[in-house]
Amino acid sequence: MTLTLLTYTLMTDPTPLEASAAGRSPSTGTVYLIVTNTGRQAAFWHSIQVQVPVGNGAGHLTSDFKKIKPKGVYGTRSGSQSPVNVKPQGSDTFQATAQGGGRTRLDPGDHLVLTLENVTVAAAAGVAVLRVTENSSSTQAGQLSNRYAAVPLMKTTPKEIPAPRDFRPDDTMVNAGTNIVLRWEGSDDFNYKILFPGGQATVPQGVRSWSPAAADAPKRATTYTLVATSRTTPKQEHFLTTTVEVRDPVLETLTATTGISTPWVQGTASATGGRVTFTGTGAAISTNSGGPGSVTADKVNVQWVTAYAVTGPAGGDGSIAFRGGGVAITSSAGTTQLGTVFADKAEFNGVRTEWVQGRSHDDGWISFPKEGLNVRRGSGQDWGNVFADKADLNGVNTRWVQGRTAADGWISFPTSGLQVSRGGTDTPTQGNVYAESICARDAPYGQGGGWINLHDEGMTVYLSKNGSNGLGSVTASGFNR
């Protein structure tokens, strides 16, 4: 075999080439065949054929010859370049020829680069040998002859698919319900899915970003997990996580074992947006507009309450206002009209009130003028009655006194003394006075202390009230029988 006039060197990208693997994207690469004149004299080449071993075995370069894209460049020592024709010949060979045809001079130090792009590497690892047929001569007019060379390249066993990386959100801090975008870098040889609280989503092939549906947008701090699973046997599986923080998180429940530290707590919606602010002395409750708020509860058990006012839950409910002088009860919140207190029992050290009335509108009532006590009927100003088993008084001022019924006798008190009248009429008619005895004056004998004893036979006049001084006298200016 005649030695070649030219020297052949082979390079690959990547180096080395990886054999293709089942279940993942085909391994591809580029093969560079560098042809150099390393001799001392010029060489003249007519054509260079490169036979590629086609198949899926250890000694094959590719299983798909037609996908390879060939090209060639001629370069001189001075640095100038010109294209070289490279075309397929048959089902496994490429042939390079000079641009103008015929034989071409290749001076010492000049070179050709024959490039085979988009090579789908065969599935088995091993050594593939490219067989070169050089048609050349040592002189311009010399006879052309074929010279042969074998150029090997290595195919290695496929490496593990590079793990995906850089799983991150576009925004690490968002408002509740805001749409987010997650991105990552990774091989097409993985199937990707995203795990999130309450669900998961499959990512379409070739896509390296994902956004949740509007209903699944994060409402609180949420951790997302990227699961990458290869289609190879055995499978490769990788897990990456990233977290999106939410400024105003929405929580279904919150359990704190040691406490919660926060300057304020507020409702989520405008209608329920009241706020509780924690101050140095306690808590301040305000409405959604910032004004003083209210607390509604089925039951409150506290040792004491400091408040401007307390009102019922309904709009027309009464209120209790706390003033410097005590408590003011009004008929409805925000008014000054006095209201009513309902209780089964009230126990006070003292009561100050303008009047007191029974439960019904027409019950009697008592008012308290400066002079004492007024008892009235119903809702008017008419005088009422006082009913009692016994009255123990230091004194009584009254116009008249009568028995329990309207037919009973009554006593009036004219300026001249005492008038006893019969019952049943508003006009005074003299009545009777019934007594065992009558004492004119409570004084000793000799000082007007006589008395009259009234008995069945009539009456007896005595000198003294105990009758020990004998009979007395009756003195009168006249007598009518």
The H-assigned helical ranges of 214-366 are none
Q: Percent of the chain having pLDDT more than 90?
A: 48
Dihedrals phi, psi of 384, to nearest 5 degrees: -110, -175
| Cα 349 to the center of its chain, rounded Å | 51
Chain segment 431-470, per-residue pLDDT in tens: 887 876 666 555 555 555 676 776 777 777 777 655 565 7
How far is it, in rounded angstroms, from Cα 441 to Cα 449? 5
* Per-residue confidence (pLDDT) for residue 42, from 0 to 100: 96
> Could you tell me if 72 and 30 are in contact, meaning their C-beta atoms sit under 8 angstroms apart?
no
pLDDT at position 50, please? Answer: 98
Token pair in block for residue 109: 């130090």
| Structural domains of the chain, with CATH | 7-156 (2.60.40.1530), 165-246 (2.60.40.10), 308-342 (no CATH), 345-390 (no CATH), 398-431 (no CATH), 435-481 (no CATH)
For 20-86, give the DSSP string. Answer: P-TTSPPPEEEEEEEEE--SSS-EEEEEEEEEPPBSSSTT-SBS-GGG-EEEEEEE-TTS-EEEEEE
Percentage helix, strand, coil for the chain under 3-state DSSP, each rounded to 5: 0, 40, 60
pLDDT tens for the chain, 481 residues long, are 568 999 999 999 999 999 999 988 999 999 999 999 999 999 999 999 999 999 999 999 999 999 999 999 999 999 999 999 999 999 999 999 988 888 999 999 999 999 999 999 999 999 999 999 999 999 999 999 999 999 999 999 999 999 999 999 999 999 999 999 999 999 999 999 999 999 999 999 999 999 999 999 999 999 999 999 999 888 999 999 999 999 988 877 878 888 888 888 887 665 567 888 888 888 888 888 778 877 777 777 776 767 767 777 776 788 877 776 677 778 776 677 777 778 888 888 888 888 888 888 788 989 889 888 888 998 788 888 888 888 888 888 887 888 888 788 888 888 888 888 888 767 788 888 787 666 655 555 555 567 677 677 777 777 765 556 577 777 777 666 6
C-alpha 350/C-alpha 394 separation (Å) is 23
